[in-house]
């Protein structure tokens, strides 16, 4: 599929070619029509006809530039909307997978690069919805998404796969670096609170992650990270479990357990 800049170049090229062909046609017709008037009349007449033809194309060219730029901006807006989760403003599944696959491709031929995929699931989210109501649950999701976006780099990617499940793609040099980011995200979210007083809840998340240095099938990466998320849930929630996987599929588990904190989310 042609990219927008390439399409714009094609449109402008076709327009310029049309102007050139039209101008040459007008010049030829003018020469034929004024040939009997002599050179003294013919040449100025031909020059005038060619100038008017070329000049008349300028307003159309300006309009074309405006319309193409406007359509390009509208197209970008539609693409962003198609790849954005409406509630939280982070990437949706389609948008995240597109960025994540680009991150995977960047690993090819670079042994010093690595990539971490984190699956982040809000703990006891159903209890928050049931006890405090869905509007408060939506606020919780927005706060989690906002915290994730704030604490990662612009080159990273944050997405929401659905419900209370988020994902983060972290290009990083080592598993330890990705693990530190995961723990920082967990701790920051654990400081969040929704509601007020007794009608409130402290937020926490469980995180499962997988680190790789070579591209892997997306389904396999997600399955490995999801298995680590399950281990975090089984281990008491509000913790991170990270695994490093090699090309042949062997892994090494590492867990980072959170200190005991009171769970007011229910």
Catalytic residue numbers read 164
Q: For 116, phi and psi rounded to 5 degrees?
A: -115, 130
**46, 30 Cβ separation under 8 angstroms:** yes
E-assigned strands of the chain? 114-122, 157-162, 165-172, 193-196, 199-202, 205-212, 239-245, 251-257
Give the CA distances from residue 239 to residues 102, 212, 219, in Å, rounded to whole numbers and listed in that order: 28, 21, 23
List b or e across 51-79, with b for residues whose CB sees 16 or more CB atoms inside 10 angstroms. Answer: eebeeebeeeeeeeeeebeeeeeeeeeee
Give the separation between CA 127 and CA 105, rounded to whole angstroms. 40
**85, 166 Cβ separation under 8 angstroms:** no
**144, 192 Cβ separation under 8 angstroms:** yes
């Amino acid at each position: 599929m042609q990219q927008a800049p390439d399409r714009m170049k094609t449109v402008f090229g076709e327009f310029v070619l049309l102007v050139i062909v039209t101008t040459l046609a007008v010049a030829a017709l003018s020469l034929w029509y004024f040939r009997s008037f002599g050179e003294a009349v013919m040449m100025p007449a031909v020059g005038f006809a060619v100038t008017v033809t070329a000049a008349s194309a300028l307003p159309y060219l300006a309009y074309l530039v405006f319309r193409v730029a406007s359509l390009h901006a509208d197209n970008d807006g539609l693409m962003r909307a198609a790849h954005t989760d409406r509630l939280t403003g982070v990437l949706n599944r389609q948008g995240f997978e597109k960025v994540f696959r680009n991150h995977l491709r960047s690993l090819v031929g670079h042994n010093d690069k690595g990539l971490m995929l984190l699956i982040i699931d809000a703990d006891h989210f159903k209890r928050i919805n049931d006890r405090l109501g869905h509007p408060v649950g939506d606020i919780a999701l927005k706060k989690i998404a906002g915290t994730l976006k704030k604490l990662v780099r612009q080159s990273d990617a944050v997405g929401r796969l659905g419900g209370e499940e988020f994902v983060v793609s972290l290009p990083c040099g080592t598993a330890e670096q990705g693990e530190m980011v995961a723990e920082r995200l967990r701790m920051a979210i654990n400081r969040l609170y929704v509601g007020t007083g007794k009608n409130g809840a402290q937020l926490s998340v469980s995180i499962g992650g997988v680190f790789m240095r070579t591209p892997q099938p997306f389904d396999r990466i997600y399955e490995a990270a999801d298995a680590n998320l399950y281990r975090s849930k089984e281990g008491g929630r509000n913790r991170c479990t990270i695994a490093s996987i090699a090309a042949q599929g062997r892994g090494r588990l590492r867990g980072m357990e959170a200190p005991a904190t009171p769970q007011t989310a229910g």
